[in-house]
Structure formats: structure tokens, C-alpha cells
Chains A and B, each alone.
Chain A
């Protein structure tokens, strides 16, 4: 992508967001759509987030134990390392990246399909602010629900690390539980959930942008959906870097 088209995309994205953040036509309809999206984006993702969190928690625990095979390092360090990896990076960032794939592609293809079948034009002709109607509930729902999903992921990550780590014999229950409490810093959770709020905004808005400006037919809808995921991930990683600099450095 050349830099000129990068600026054009940023400009167009900004203009779209200004349309999105107008007062909704009717609050009753907005809230209904908001809760539908909370359900689709949040509840609909819990299954995959649960599975990934339990197993990744376990793998992180076993890998930490593997790295600390030295008589000088106390065994509870496994719990400390697993906790920090899960809270600082795994749950907020990796889970968001996975949701970028799941949520981003479905948002882009839904909106892209509405664009190419003129459903968006039909909304506009009626006098409905189509961008606001379609996109605002998705963004707000995902900003609202992502922190919960990530908190659940943190919990299940620890649970997976505990259960499977103990089962694998790399750590004892007492040391793991002692480790995850050792020198616990609530600020790290704050940092993680703050990142999550940004990711919850980036994923649906970048994906909706790609869907909303789809031109052509079903082939292009597929391409928009792929682009939505790729750009969501790139922007997400960029913000992950910036926010880490600002909040931890």
C-alpha cells in the first residue's frame, strides 16, 4: 500500500466515524440492536475464548516450568510467570487478535453484503443514517463487552494453568496458588483492560469501514472481509505497542 492511499483510508475512516457517532434515530431501536450485538459479539465468542484460554493457560504454565528447571528458582515462580503472561499479554492481546478474526470478518461480510445488495441504499433513501444504524451498536457493544470477555479469559487461563499444570506434574497446587498471588499488581489488570477497550473499538470500526465501502459483488465482499481482519490486526498491534509504551514504560 502506498502512503498516499494510507492517508486516504485514514481520512475516509475518520469521516465514517463522524457519521457513526451521530445521535441515533430512536433510542429504543438503538438499545435493541445494542443488546443483539452484545449477544452476537460477546456471548457468541465465549466458547472459543474459553477453550483457547484454558489450553493457552496450561501451555504457558508448562513452558514457564520448563524454563525454570533450576534449583535456585523457587517453584512458585511458575505461577508468577504464568500470571504475568496471561494478564499482560495473552488475555488482552492474543484473545483480541482471535476475536479480530471471528468478529471482524463477520462484521465486514454482513455490512459488505448489505452494501452490494443495495440494502444500505434502501436505508439511506428512507432517511436512516445507515452508518450510525448499522455500525454504532456494534462498536459500543464490543467496547462494553470486550473487558468482560477478557476478564473471563484471564480467569480461565489461570484455571487451565492450575488444573493442567498440576495434572502434568510441573507445579504443585500450593506453589501455583502462592505464585499467582505473589507481588500481585492490580495496575497490570488496569493496563490490560484499558488496552482491551481500545481493541474493542478498533476491531468493529475497522472491519465495518471495510464492509461499508465494499464495491462490486460477492467476490468483493469476501475480499473486504479478509482485509478487515488483516487491517484490524495491524492497527490492533500498533495500538498495543503505543499503549504499552504509554502505560507501562
Chain B
């Protein structure tokens, strides 16, 4: 479980995150949704320590990450897997080497054990054949899946995904959503997913925080979101004509 309390972050004059609080639950997919530029990426970068927040607390199982020293933060980071918006695979390494990298860095596994674990993770994301390929030889969807394989290699307790399905076709996108949902429940991870995609929201949104201009103005579940009584959220949810018609029919 991760609990964020009253988090604030400004860049110069720009106040990006405003007093954000939310509880990210274990074994669930916790979604952060909101328009482009509201500060979703900044929020999770604060949560994993890539950006220093101005104030507020980020509690990993009750311990505040922000005020920890480097060594303690490092311990927590080894329990974090992260999928970046652009995958961020290491260009100079093959897929298999990418997945093996955290294992080489932080465990004493033998070469054979690492290879097995990497193969297992690649199979888990349906890419058993991709081990020998370099990132430049993978499609966007394959890169994201290899990045997920790398993120789960260390059996993390916390998984962060920044727009795991942006830029993917609907079927691949659903595949990735299902994968995230499955592994979250299977490994009982605290999973944090940023998305703009209403399909994903309805598919995996166990808990949802809606950010608008850096403020959380709604929270709930995927079952509640379609009937939520919030003007800004409605604009976001019913952005497409299709969903608008769906709503009108629901109301009629």
C-alpha cells in the first residue's frame, strides 16, 4: 500500500500538483486519470523519487519515502518496477539483457537462473521469442511488453505504469491492460497506472483518482465512474460521441 498525503510540487511559478492525497491499495490497479498536462507524470515521478516534491508525504507501508536517506530509498526502489511513457529500454542491450539487468545488478543469481527468470518474464508478456532482439528491432507494443517484463523481473511489490497503452491498437492495448490486471492480482502488487484511455479505465480501474489542473477532484471505482456527478469528470469520461450516445440511452 502506498499512501500519498498533501503532495505539492511547483516548477518555478507553475504550481503543478496541488495538495494531492490518495491511497493506492495493494493487489489492486490504482488509476490516475486526467487530461494531458495536468501533472500525472509529475505525480508518479514524485512517488518514485525522480522528482523532489515541495512538501507532503509518500508513505510506503507507513514509511515516508520523501524524508528517507539515500540508502533507505534505494531499498524501496528495489521493490519498484516502472514502465515509462516511452518504455525506456536500454538501447545497447537485447530484450533478454534488459530483463536480466536488475537481476545482475542486485541479486547473486547464477547466469542460468537469470536466463530462466528472464525467459519466464518474457513468456509472461507473450514474447518468448524476443529475447535476442534489440529495442530498435521491436514494435512499440513489443517494447512496452519487454519493459513490463523488465519491471516485474525483481518481483516488485509496487508497479508504476505511465500510459501503458498510449499509441497502441485497441487489441494490443487490451492485451496490456489484461496483463497488468493479472500480474497485479497474481503477485499482489500495489499497481499505479496513468491512463487517458476510457477502455482501460472501465477494464481495470479498481480505484481511480481524477486529476484536473493538478488537483484531485474525484475518486472512485470503475463501477461508479459512469454515473459520477462531477462536471469536469463527465467532460473527460464522455469525450467521445459514442459514449455520449451511450449515456443518453442510459438516461432515457
The answer to whether the Cβ of A122 comes within 8 Å of any Cβ in the partner chain is yes
Interface stretch, picked from B75-83, B189-197, B236-244, is B75-83
Known: A126-B105, A127-B106. A118 touches B78 (CB 8 A): no
CB distance from A60 to the nearest CB of B (A): 40
Q: Is the interface of B mostly helix, strand, loop or mixed?
A: mixed
**Candidate in A114, A122, A128 with the most chain B CB atoms within 10 angstroms:** A122
Report yes or no: A119 in contact with B91, Cβ–Cβ below 8 A: yes
Report yes or no: B74 in contact with A127, Cβ–Cβ below 8 A: yes
The answer to whether the Cβ of B245 comes within 8 Å of any Cβ in the partner chain is no
CA distance A113 to B84 in the complex (A): 15
**Nearest-neighbor residue (CB-CB) of A113 within chain B:** B91
Report yes or no: A121 in contact with B84, Cβ–Cβ below 8 A: yes
Q: Is the interface of A mostly helix, strand, loop or mixed?
A: helix
The answer to whether the Cβ of B217 comes within 8 Å of any Cβ in the partner chain is no
Report yes or no: A128 in contact with B50, Cβ–Cβ below 8 A: no
Taking CB atoms, residues of chain A closer than 8 Å to B56 are none
A118 CB contact (under 8 Å) in B77, B85, B104: B85
Report yes or no: B104 in contact with A26, Cβ–Cβ below 8 A: yes
Known: A118-B85, A118-B88, A119-B88. A125 touches B48 (CB 8 A): yes
How many chain A residues sit at the interface, stated as a range, is: 10 to 19
Taking CB atoms, residues of chain B closer than 8 Å to A121 are 45, 50, 84, 88
Please report which residues of chain B, range 75-133, place their CB below 8 angstroms from some CB of chain A when the two chains form the complex: 75, 77-78, 80, 82, 84-86, 88-91, 101-102, 104-106
Taking CB atoms, residues of chain A closer than 8 Å to B77 are 124-127
**Nearest-neighbor residue (CB-CB) of A28 within chain B:** B104
Taking CB atoms, residues of chain B closer than 8 Å to A114 are 90-91
The answer to whether the Cβ of A29 comes within 8 Å of any Cβ in the partner chain is yes
Taking CB atoms, residues of chain A closer than 8 Å to B102 are 126
Please report which residues of chain A, range 86-132, place their CB below 8 angstroms from some CB of chain B when the two chains form the complex: 113-114, 117-119, 121-122, 124-128
A26 CB contact (under 8 Å) in B73, B80, B85, B105: B105
Taking CB atoms, residues of chain A closer than 8 Å to B91 are 113-114, 117, 119
**Nearest-neighbor residue (CB-CB) of A25 within chain B:** B105
Report yes or no: B105 in contact with A122, Cβ–Cβ below 8 A: no
A122 CB contact (under 8 Å) in B73, B84, B104, B106: B84
Taking CB atoms, residues of chain A closer than 8 Å to B45 are 121
Contact with A along B49-89 (1 / 0, CB 8 A): 11000000000000000000000011101101010111011
**Candidate in A26, A119, A126, A128 with the most chain B CB atoms within 10 angstroms:** A126
**Nearest-neighbor residue (CB-CB) of A133 within chain B:** B105
Taking CB atoms, residues of chain B closer than 8 Å to A118 are 84-86, 88
CB distance from B12 to the nearest CB of A (A): 14
**Nearest-neighbor residue (CB-CB) of A22 within chain B:** B70
CB distance from A116 to the nearest CB of B (A): 9
A128 CB contact (under 8 Å) in B75, B85, B105, B160: B105
CA distance A137 to B105 in the complex (A): 16
**Candidate in A113, A114, A117 with the most chain B CB atoms within 10 angstroms:** A117
**Nearest-neighbor residue (CB-CB) of A110 within chain B:** B92
Instruction: Enumerate 20 A-B pairs (CB-CB under 8 Å) in ascending A order.
Output: A25-B105, A26-B104, A26-B105, A118-B84, A118-B86, A119-B89, A119-B90, A121-B45, A121-B50, A125-B49, A125-B77, A125-B80, A125-B82, A125-B160, A126-B78, A126-B80, A126-B101, A126-B105, A127-B74, A127-B75
Which residues of chain A have a CB within 8 Å of any CB of chain B?
25-26, 29, 113-114, 117-119, 121-122, 124-128
